[in-house]
Structure 1
Amino acid sequence: MAAGGKARRRTDSTDTDTGIGRRVLRLRTERGLTQRELAEPAYTAAYISTVESGKARPSPAALRHLAARLTVSEEELATGRPAHLATELGLRITEARRPAGSGDAREAAARLRELAAECARFALPEQEASARTALGDCALDLGDLDLARENYESAERLLSDAPLPRRAAAVRGRAVTHLLAGELRYACYLLESAIEELGAQGLQDPEALVLLHSAVIAPYVDMGAYARAAQSAELALSLAPRVEDPALVARMHRGVARAMLAAGRTAEADASLAKAQELYGQLHIRTELAHCHWMRGYGRAQEGDLAAAERELRRAQDMLVAERAQLFAAQVGVELADVLRRRGRRGEAVAVLDRLLDGIGAERGAVHAGAAHRLLGLISEEEGETGAAEGHYRDALSLLAHTGAAGDLADICRLLGDLLRRLGRVEAALDIYRTGLGHRAAPGTTTLGPGVEGVPL
């Protein structure tokens, strides 16, 4: 049976007549009581016998009597869960999550798996869903998208009857796995559907809305939907004063910075990143701090300050490698390689790109793998290797074909079309240009091309 499924094998911890009877028998034996001693003065030994055999279920009054005589809480006797267990497990799960952002995600995952199993044993679906969501976050940091998705889906199943705000973190996590796999449209679909559902149900939960709007900015930007990204950023900012979770506020500022960078507003993006970095620094969440340096490096490159961009990107990559977040480290490598190329260090750029393509591809980071081939194509052209350049551009098109990254697709079509035209293959160039015209966005959404002007924010 899949972990986290709605169906659960019945155990001593389930609320059944047999389970209660076994617990009464065990506790009575441990305390050295006879059935008569347990029963008196309100009940008979025969009644205790029927309870212990599972033939009768104690009434609320009888449950109170038995719990008092056995010196346990009514909850523990009825469910097998020690008093305050749910609260204690929730606190332990919160504590276990911390190493994922400030240490070893593998260590955190090991502890969280134990906690998820304990929650399952005591039939605590909400706490187990929290552990599963945290396990998904650990798997994301480690670049295991399949495992991350499995845990997020498990959390959603456990909370299938709960209000959407309780499921929002798992929905967001699952959308991120699809985004990182290059399935931008589906990531948008998941997040937009959740936002629409909140609106339809009148559930104006500020934390859930900030979480979902912050998450949808990245796929919007990668798809070239800059107006939508700006709108989500505005909504998230307007709700931020009603959010108490500092980690969520920091994530919101990082998402807003992404929208501002897409709009070419690097000063405002810097201000949002500074707020995010301050909060992540206080919380000691190093992976998210690395993402802030990544975005700051992107902004510096947009401004043409390539030396500063290289420093920021190398710092981000070093931090992610130290946290074993290899998938994110590889994605930063794409940005770093472009900076190196633009600084005239093509050999270093090629070495970076060749290494990172071993870790990303169609199933893991298709958008950034496509960006890597785009850069290799540019470098090949600059080296006069037109055949290699064409091969890289076509590899990029293949990787990006089903991602929805409209701006990047249009950019690759332009580059390939220009190359084919220079080689005298005019008809082939025209076909590629026509394909590019079908994609409605400017280039530079995930690689270090020019920013987009005039997007209101």
Structure 2
Amino acid sequence: MNETMDRAGLGRRVLALRTERGLTQRALAEPDYTAAYVSTVESGKVRPSEAALRHLAARLGVSVEQLVTGRPAHLATELGLRLAEAHQRLCAGDPAQAAAHYAELAAEAARYELVEQRAAALVGLGDCALDTGELDQAIEHFQVAEELLRTAPLPQRVPALRGRAVAHLLAGDLRYSCYLLESAIDQLNASGLPDPQALLLLYSAVIAPYLDLGAHRRAAQAAELALALAPQVADAALVARLHRGVARTLLAEGRAAEADASLAKAQELYQQLQIRTELAHCHWMRGYLRAQDGDLPAAERELRTARELLSGPQSDRATLYTQQIDVELADVLHRSGRTEQASALLADLLDSLHPGRGAVHAGAAHRLLGRIAEEHGDPVAAETHYRAALELLQGAGAVADLADLCRLLGDLLRRAGRVVEALDVYRGGLGHQAAPGTTTLGPAPAVPPS
């Protein structure tokens, strides 16, 4: 805002407040100033000195900040409380209502030029969009929040940056998600005074794309560094998210009992905090763990519990997370002998999951449909699904699943007598098995200074 506009706005506020209180210009001015001086202020011809501002504010019964900016007293504090209420609505599993509150708060903060509060509301809107699977909207909200905070210290920008990385991960852009998170980690560590909470948020977020990319060593290292930071962080929800991420690395290493213990810690914290979405993620992972152990009835119970938490009475539409859980549930149904139910569930998902929305799980759905087609003696359909899965996973860079998929497709081609094609596919699979993650990512982020 330029100086002329600033003087004009201030003058209008002085005039409005004086009229509202029934004061004359002389009554407002005395004893230190003249009515003529107040007239020049109200007309925007002069900007009062600091002493004059204090005098006018005291006579009008407002703070100097309210007189200068037009912001109601304690507005920033009030917006902070309302942001916490909106966050609680989101935690309770009501993203639509939470988004309406966040949008209102973002508009109010913009009107009064409260940058930090507006950015926080936009991050909240981004989180709501993640919950409902509207990934383009989520990315836009997070980007605007980052732009608003571009001159702020990096730790203040981390929640928005982390949100944007998660949105790109869900959209299937694994490498870019890693790039965003690793770059921020390096910047924080290079600053000399890394922020423990910001680092924990970033390390917890980078575990998922690392695992999907097959970079298991990096995922394990991120989990180890995050666990070391946890005692310095008071945010229970963030610590719970850490334990959920650690559980994923333990599962990848075949340490099922330790993974289950880590999930139990996360689940207990989420239950105390009443965060439905994150609690659903814990049940989802426990369902996967039970399926890996061969306990299919327990796996189905956990996955259906996760699904109910995400599509409870306050939610009127399926989320991207719900659809991803359904892919896991379909696998359990197939392994339980209910192949027709599994196929129907997967067929319903394929229109909703695609390269820009849940590409990794879309690939898993096609892979499972390919296996089902093989079992039903339909090699043409099986090949179609395997190749669709291959295209999705290659586009996303999901190296962790490509080697096994290449084996399935190669075996199918070999049995059909297409040996040369099968060899090409096998070679591709062997390439994905070599040094997981090291061929797709740059140097690992620096370790925090001790």
Q: TM-score, normalised by structure 2?
A: 0.93
Q: Deviations over 1:131-189 (max 9, x none)?
A: 11011111111111011111111111111111111111111100000000010000000
Specify the alignment match of 1:181 in structure 2: 171
Instruction: Answer yes or no: is 1:225 the counterpart of 2:215.
Output: yes
| Matched position secondary structure for 2:250 | helix
Taking only the aligned residue pairs, the percentage that are identical comes to: 69
1:368-396 deviation digits (Å, cap 9, x = unpaired): 00110000001111111100000000111
- What is the match of residue 417 of structure 1? 410
- Which residue, 123, 144, 150 being the options, matches 1:133? 123
Deviation at residue 434 of structure 1 after TM alignment: 2.2
- Distance in 2, matches of 1:441 and 1:40, equals 83
Q: Which residue identity lines up with residue 191 of structure 2 in the other structure?
A: Q
Relative to structure 1, is the Cα distance of residues 187 and 441 closer, same or farther in structure 2, using a 3 angstrom cutoff?
farther
- Mapped partners of 2:435, 2:200: distance in 1: 27
Contact map agreement 1:407 1:442 (CA 8 A) in 2: no
Per-residue CA deviation, residues 307-346 of structure 1 (Å, 9 max, x unaligned), is 2111111111222222445210110111111112222221
**Deviation digits for residues 20-67 of structure 1 (CA, Å, limit 9, x no counterpart):** 111111101111111121111111222212211212111111110000
Give, as a single letter, the amino acid of the residue that structure 2 aligns with 1:229.
A
Alignment check: 8 A CA contact 1:15 1:79 kept: no
TM-superposed CA distance for 1:241, in Å, is 1.0
1:219 corresponds to which letter in structure 2? P
Gap change, CA 1:178 and 1:367, over 3 Å in 2? same
Q: What does the per-residue CA deviation read over 1:244-292, in whole Å, with 9 as the maximum and x for residues that have no partner? A: 1111111111111111111111111111111111111111111111100
Q: CA deviation at 1:431?
A: 1.7
User: Mapping of 1:41-440 within 5 angstroms?
Assistant: 41-322=31-312, 323=315, 324-440=317-433
Structure 2 contact 355–395 (Cα < 8 Å) conserved: no
Q: Distance in 2 between matches of 1:55 and 1:409?
A: 71
Contact 1:216–1:232 (Cα < 8 Å) also in 2 = yes
Report how far residue 426 of structure 1 moved.
0.9
Measure the CA separation in 2 of the matches of 1:72 and 1:325. 49
In structure 1, distance between residues paired with 2:398 and 2:185: 22
- Aligned partners of 1:89 and 1:127 also within 8 Å: yes
Write the letter of the residue equivalent to 1:350: S
Once residues 381 and 423 of structure 1 are traced to their aligned partners in structure 2, the CA distance between those partners, rounded to angstroms, is: 12
Question: Within 1, Cα distance between the matches of 2:395 and 2:190?
Answer: 30
Distance 1:420 1:272 in 2: 41
The letter for the 1-side match of 2:159 is: A
Instruction: Tell me if structure 1 keeps the 8 A contact 2:280–2:307.
Output: yes
Task: Say yes or no: does 1:36 pair with 2:26.
Answer: yes
CA contact (8 A) 1:130 1:155 kept: yes
Q: Distance in 2 between matches of 1:440 and 1:210?
A: 30
- Counterparts of 1:426 and 1:278, CA distance in 2: 53
For the 8 Å contact 1:371–1:396, the answer to whether it is kept is yes
Structure 1 residue 191, shift from structure 2 partner? 0.5
d(CA) in 2 for partners of 1:407 and 1:245? 32
Shift of 1:84: 1.5
Residue 305 of structure 1 and its aligned partner are, at CA, apart by: 1.5
Aligned mates of 1:312, 1:74 — CA distance in 2 = 57
Q: CA deviation at 1:438?
A: 2.5
CA RMSD of aligned residues (A): 1.7
Query: Is the contact made by 2:132 and 2:319 (CA closer than 8 Å) also made in structure 1?
Result: yes
- The answer to whether the Cα contact below 8 Å between 2:93 and 2:310 also exists between their aligned partners in 1 is no
Alpha carbons of structure 1 residues 55 and 249: separation in structure 2 relative to 1, 3 Å: same
Paired amino acid for 1:329: T
The more displaced of 433-442 and 271-280 is 433-442
Kindly indicate whether the alpha-carbon contact (under 8 Å) linking 1:410 and 1:441 is maintained by their aligned counterparts in 2: no
- Which SS does the other structure have where 2:352 is aligned? coil
Stretch deviating more after TM superposition (333-342 or 162-171) = 333-342
Contact 1:188 1:219 in 2 (8 A): yes
Matched to 1:437, the amino acid is L
* Displacement over 3 Å in runs of 4+: 440-443
Deviates more, 1:313-322 or 1:326-335: 313-322
Cα 1:297/1:21, change in 2 over 3 Å: same
Cα distance in 2, alignment partners of residues 120 and 420 from structure 1: 60
Cα deviation, residue 120, structure 1: 0.4
Distance 2:191 2:43 in 1: 46
Counterparts of 1:383 and 1:220 in 2: how far apart (Å)?
35
Listed as ranges, the gaps of 5+ residues in structure 1 are 1-9, 444-457
Amino acid at match of 1:99: R
CA distance in 1, matches of 2:434, 2:48: 67
Cα contact 1:15–1:78 (8 A) shared by 2: no
Between the aligned partners of 2:271 and 2:193, the Cα distance in structure 1 is: 32
Q: CA deviation at 1:11?
A: 11
**Ranges in structure 2 where 5+ consecutive residues have no aligned partner:** 437-450
Distance in 1 between residues matched to 2:183 and 2:401, nearest whole Å: 25
